[in-house]
Copies of this chain bind each other. A is one copy, B any other.
């Protein structure tokens, strides 16, 4: 007890003092993760995993509602299969884990643990696709993948991470491009409606494309510290993989032609994004849609007659209304519990004590702004639901406000450097489309291109770097 109390009283590092340490403090103290003896591989603890389950549940429903089906590919890719698409193997081979032995036997063709599964899906498609009647296939899988990263951080960059990878194959390029855009929009909608996190939708520059893609689209979010985080990607492959893997189908005119492919994914990185978008110096702040506990009920003076019973009644009411609710009637002090569920980012706390019961009310405190309200017990479920909606809207508004405040339109390199003196953020600036300028902007200012947003603005007609005619406005930033 004394020990537990101490743990909670230890404040986490302030985000202004050391943002990186604040982040890992939350990961540990909100009991999202624990480290293991394998560098870069972590345990996702029950509270962290419950957040992922909620993310999965919502996204999986959205995928199925748009006609996608789940499958499961093997985790191993033979080296010879990985090598079939030239750009793809160049992009991934340097960072894969290799299995060389099965039991005591040395493998003839070594196997990599999937860093992504394009090659496996392509092999499968070459087996099952023959006619235009077999198209499209809209497949997805929920698995973990491995990339042998040098520097790692919980959720943001780990050697193994959980994700979903959609892999679709279509009769025409138009169908595949439409799918690429559909899924990017779906991700954006999910981030905004379920994570309360505004995102910028756009296209990656050539230098930042996925290995093997014709074009890569991404959603980019801005964290508390002004750094950008790529929250999801959607790739259009054209017929490149189909050619490399010899996937052909007979079209309606009885010609053998190549199909067109896409892939798209989001990862447990989204949990990192939620922490760095909404968290504060008391810990995690969770958007209600993915919070494992949406409301926690804490009895006050629970030794007094009728308090725990009333608390249970409230629990039953909220639970029956479909709210994810927890009653904590353990023998820890109310103060300890307040701190505990603040650390864990529970959106609404309900306090109920003898005086509240007498007046037919209880106290509701919203985590993100600590506002206290005395609310009637009658109609409690509706009141709590309304509060959860308010919390979502307030989180979204605050995140948007943070992003807008930290987004700067610049027309010269000097303006970029001047803007960044206020701290990191998004820079909007025009670009000629030349990779040399992209590199030079990074060299001179420290910000790289994040994406070419779908929503373009004409800030000037000249490239921010070389002054030649601009082709597009680009979002620039320092990235996680």
Residues of A within 8 A of B (CB): 1, 3-4, 34, 36-38, 41-46, 49-50, 52-53, 69-78, 81, 93-105, 111, 113, 120, 123-124, 127-128, 130-131, 133, 139, 143-144, 146, 148, 159-160, 162
Whole-angstrom CA separation of A42 from B93 in the bound complex: 23
Given known A42-B74, A133-B4, contact A36–B148 (CB-CB < 8 A): no
Which of B99, B123, B162 is within 8 Å of A36, CB to CB? B123
Task: Collect the chain B residues with CB atoms within 8 Å of residue A46's CB.
Answer: 69-71, 139
B124 near A76 with CB under 8 A, answer: no
Whole-angstrom CA separation of A146 from B103 in the bound complex: 11
A124 near B75 with CB under 8 A, answer: no
Whole-angstrom CA separation of A94 from B105 in the bound complex: 9
Whole-angstrom CA separation of A157 from B73 in the bound complex: 16
Q: How many copies, total? A: 2
Provide a sorted-by-A list of 22 A–B residue pairs whose CB atoms are within 8 angstroms: A3-B131, A34-B128, A36-B124, A37-B78, A38-B111, A41-B76, A43-B71, A43-B74, A43-B120, A46-B139, A49-B71, A49-B72, A50-B69, A53-B70, A72-B144, A75-B75, A95-B103, A96-B103, A97-B102, A97-B111, A99-B113, A103-B148
Task: Collect the chain B residues with CB atoms within 8 Å of residue A133's CB.
Answer: 1, 4
Residue on B nearest A76 in the bound complex, by CB: B38
Whole-angstrom CA separation of A78 from B36 in the bound complex: 10
Task: Collect the chain B residues with CB atoms within 8 Å of residue A94's CB.
Answer: 103-104
Task: Collect the chain B residues with CB atoms within 8 Å of residue A72's CB.
Answer: 43-44, 49, 52, 144, 162
Given known A146-B75, A160-B76, contact A124–B37 (CB-CB < 8 A): no
CB distance from A238 to the nearest CB of B (A): 24
Task: Collect the chain B residues with CB atoms within 8 Å of residue A69's CB.
Answer: 46, 49-50
Whole-angstrom CA separation of A144 from B162 in the bound complex: 13
Given known A41-B74, A43-B124, A144-B75, contact A100–B101 (CB-CB < 8 A): yes
CB distance from A114 to the nearest CB of B (A): 11
Whole-angstrom CA separation of A102 from B131 in the bound complex: 40
A70 near B50 with CB under 8 A, answer: yes
Q: Is the interface of A mostly helix, strand, loop or mixed?
A: mixed
CB distance from A437 to the nearest CB of B (A): 31
CB distance from A384 to the nearest CB of B (A): 22
Whole-angstrom CA separation of A96 from B102 in the bound complex: 6
Task: Collect the chain B residues with CB atoms within 8 Å of residue A43's CB.
Answer: 71-74, 120, 124
Task: Collect the chain B residues with CB atoms within 8 Å of residue A101's CB.
Answer: 97-98, 100
Residue on B nearest A36 in the bound complex, by CB: B74
Task: Collect the chain B residues with CB atoms within 8 Å of residue A120's CB.
Answer: 36, 43
Task: Collect the chain B residues with CB atoms within 8 Å of residue A50's CB.
Answer: 69-70
Residue on B nearest A268 in the bound complex, by CB: B72
CB distance from A239 to the nearest CB of B (A): 22
Whole-angstrom CA separation of A50 from B68 in the bound complex: 12
Whole-angstrom CA separation of A1 from B44 in the bound complex: 48
Given known A4-B133, A76-B160, A131-B3, contact A34–B124 (CB-CB < 8 A): yes
Whole-angstrom CA separation of A76 from B36 in the bound complex: 10
Interface centre among A3, A70, A103 (most CB of B within 10 A): A103
Interface centre among A43, A45, A53, A98 (most CB of B within 10 A): A43
Residue on B nearest A70 in the bound complex, by CB: B49
Residue on B nearest A4 in the bound complex, by CB: B133
Residue on B nearest A139 in the bound complex, by CB: B46
CB distance from A269 to the nearest CB of B (A): 15
Whole-angstrom CA separation of A52 from B69 in the bound complex: 13
Interface centre among A75, A102, A159 (most CB of B within 10 A): A102
CB distance from A134 to the nearest CB of B (A): 9
A127 near B49 with CB under 8 A, answer: no
B102 near A99 with CB under 8 A, answer: no
Task: Collect the chain B residues with CB atoms within 8 Å of residue A148's CB.
Answer: 102-103, 105
A78 near B3 with CB under 8 A, answer: no
Whole-angstrom CA separation of A69 from B103 in the bound complex: 32
